[in-house]
Amino acid sequence: MRIAILPSEQEIARVAADRICRVYRDKPDFVLGLATGSSPLPLYAELVRRYEAGLISFARVRSFNLDEYVGLPRDHVEGYANFIHRHLVDLVDMPEGAAHGPDGWCEDLEAGAAAYDQAIRDAGGIDIQVLGIGSDGHIGFNEPGGSLASRTHVGVLTDQTRRDNARFFDGDLDAVPTHCVTQGLGTIMDSRAHVFIATGEGKAQAVAEMIEGGISARWPASVLQSHPDVLVLIDEAAASKLELADFYREVWEKEGASA
Ligand code: GLP
């Protein structure tokens, strides 16, 4: 993992966008993995800004979302496909049909999940995946206790995740779905590179377990320790429980420019 502890969300967005722009320069038809949640929003705003400035085009890009709720109406504003359209896809030059997400509405959800995994493979695999983290250590919606090798599947959300996400549903816990379809940890690990973003005190324990804990299904994001290309971008608050924060700062100062 390359770890950068940065002073602001804007700086995180800038470094994350630089990383994605490097992939774009090497491969203008790259496959982009997208995360929802509030953490990547400054990155998406920065990508839109760079698109408007003519620094990146999404005309040949295909995207794949990490996850989707099960049980929301298709047009629900907090549905993840709608979220990604609103914050990125509709604001850049991505062609119709290039943005994909797991199907949370089909009759046979497991078959839909398997088809989604295959669609990612058929697209040549994800070149760079944007990731956030839940306070319980989930990535995508891979909650504690799941297989580290799972493929896209139907999952159950923890109470902690549902409470965390209730803020998107006017604080109404009952309105937060109980189920989801998510890329599995094995699917996520197939991505060639990751850019991970976490901010705020509420993520500090999950971030510490991800970077410095053992690889364990208790903290699903810890599986990323065995991926060769993960750029971890966090603020001071999210870094506050890291034992070796000073060392990571030193390494980033010496080697970060080549990230
Ligand atoms: C949701 C998503 C995750 C996301 C997490 C954190 O549960 N399924 O992909 O990383 O929330 O969200 P936020 O960035 O809003 O804290």
Q: Over the stretch 246-256, which tens digit does the pLDDT of each residue have? A: 999 999 999 87
For residues 65 and 166, give the distance between their C-alpha atoms in angstroms, rounded to a whole number.
21
Cα of 254 from ligand 1 centre, angstroms = 31
Instruction: Supply the residue whose CA is at minimum distance from atom 3 of ligand 1.
Output: 140
* Cα 134 to ligand 1 centroid, rounded to whole Å: 5
The atom of ligand 1 lying closest to the CA of 67 is 8
pLDDT at 83: 97
| Distance from residue 57's CA to the centre of ligand 1 (Å) | 26
Distance separating alpha carbons of residues 93 and 148, to the nearest angstrom: 35
Q: What is the pLDDT of residue 256?
A: 77
* Rounded-to-integer distance, Cα 205 and Cα 191, Å: 25
CATH number for the domain spanning 114: value is 3.40.50.1360
Kind plus residue range of the DSSP H or E element containing 179:
strand 179-182
Q: Which of 19, 21, 41, 4 is nearest to 232 (CA)?
A: 4
The sign one gets for the Cα dihedral 85, 230, 238, 67 is: positive
CA of 188 to the centre of ligand 1 (A): 15
Q: Whose CA is nearest to atom 1 of ligand 1?
A: 37
pTM summary value: 0.97
Do the strands 230-235 and 2-6 form a parallel or antiparallel pair, or are they unpaired?
parallel
Q: Where are the alpha helices (DSSP H) in 92-217?
A: 109-122, 159-165, 185-190, 204-212
- In a 3-state reduction of DSSP, which class is residue 154? strand
Q: Which residues line ligand 1 (CB under 6 A)?
A: 35-39, 66-67, 132-134, 140-141, 161, 165
**Considering only CA atoms, which residue is closest to atom 5 of ligand 1?**
134
d(CA 158, CA 144): 8
Structural domain including 131 reads: 2-256
**Number of the ligand 1 atom closest to the C-alpha atom of 141:** 8
Name which of 37, 51, 39 is nearest 9 in CA terms.
39
Of the candidates 1, 102, 101, 91, the one whose C-alpha atom is nearest the C-alpha of residue 47 is 91
- What is the residue whose two structure tokens read 């705003």? 45
Quote helix, strand, coil % in the chain, to nearest 5. 40, 20, 40
Report the number of distinct structural domains present in the chain: 1
Distance CA 244, CA 248 (A): 6
**Separation CA 44–CA 235 (nearest Å):** 17
Catalytic residues: 67, 136, 138, 143
Q: Kindly give the distance from the C-alpha atom of residue 239 to the centroid of ligand 1, in angstroms, as a whole number.
A: 17
Q: Where are the beta strands (DSSP E) in 2-133?
A: 2-6, 31-34, 62-65, 67-70, 99-100, 128-131
The ranges of the chain with pLDDT < 50 are: none
> Which residue, judged by its Cα, is nearest atom 12 of ligand 1?
37
First and final C-alpha spacing in the chain: 10
For residue 131, which atom of ligand 1 is closest to its CA? 10
Q: How far apart are CA 24 and CA 57, in angstroms?
A: 8
| Residue 139, both tokens | 């990535």
* Cα–Cα distance for residue pair 197/203, rounded to 1 Å: 10
pLDDT tens track for 102-135? 999 999 999 999 999 999 999 999 999 999 999 9
195 secondary structure, DSSP code: E
pLDDT of residue 257: 57
Atom in ligand 1 nearest the alpha carbon of residue 161: 7
- The predicted structure's pLDDT at residue 258: 60
Give, for ligand 1, the residue of 12, 41, 165, 167 to mutate: max count of ligand atoms closer than 8 Å to Cβ. Answer: 165
